[in-house]
Chain A
């Protein structure tokens, strides 16, 4: 952290002990470091992959992170933000015919989803586009229709690609994001109503036992996004809160140390589930994030995904852990931004 941020953090931690709200300057300083790094990282990823790759690490989470920052009056590079939106829209526009073919004939699905991860990226990216208030268009509607059609008989959405923990590892995450996406962008695919699909997803989420913090957090989000009653939301939030460590952070799994990925995600989910940012446990999580930010503004999280793609340096720090660290930095930035007042003019440029 910078000396200013450190001084501010020390001041805020003193304030936290007295149950004072976090100082806005501390949060602004932290996000002021991380947000430009994230936007630049998305740009360099795009350039260094030479247009070959599009990634849920960058495209899904950065859209939500930027949109939220804008809503809090933080300075956003709008050119880079537009470029990311167009990158996702362009991806789906290029695949519209393939997706339509898969809707008409399931034999065409392998061409539409060659790696078996369509449900994952469609969930993350449509969620990100919704955060950016991107209006539905024909290509996005086709994407959402295919996503709806991929719902399993038991109500879940799943994938067949190799797991890449933690982002692409479990069906609870995939189901929550897919439910959000079809609710926002999708007409019914095959006559089944959207409400009925959401009901089946909600029922599956209620019955599926969570194994990881991703499961706990997206389980709560999924219940919220599928319209579960307050009692179910409170129970899911209580389970997530119970996984918080004494230092304020969350870990990806019970047998791992806490990190910024799990902590930022947990704070976002709790907030969506109704927990106030003034809640003491929520503030402890925020404190964990502020203390673990790297001097360059990022958060480091060690990768544990089985590597599958040609290695390259995307421009974001942390070498082979750059992609999970990027996602962690997004989630941490989201959590810090949530603690800022809506529409704050501070930092607007």
Chain B
């Protein structure tokens, strides 16, 4: 399971947790998220802006 961080607010999309409130259940793969997926906390960064976290 991979994790990606929003470069503005620091929100971490953890594939193990998903983003349930926004309708992406635990286990939802990063590559399956739409390209315009916004950060579910600040909403001003989108999928292409997120940074893959190592380990």
Are A and B subunits of one complex?
Answer: no
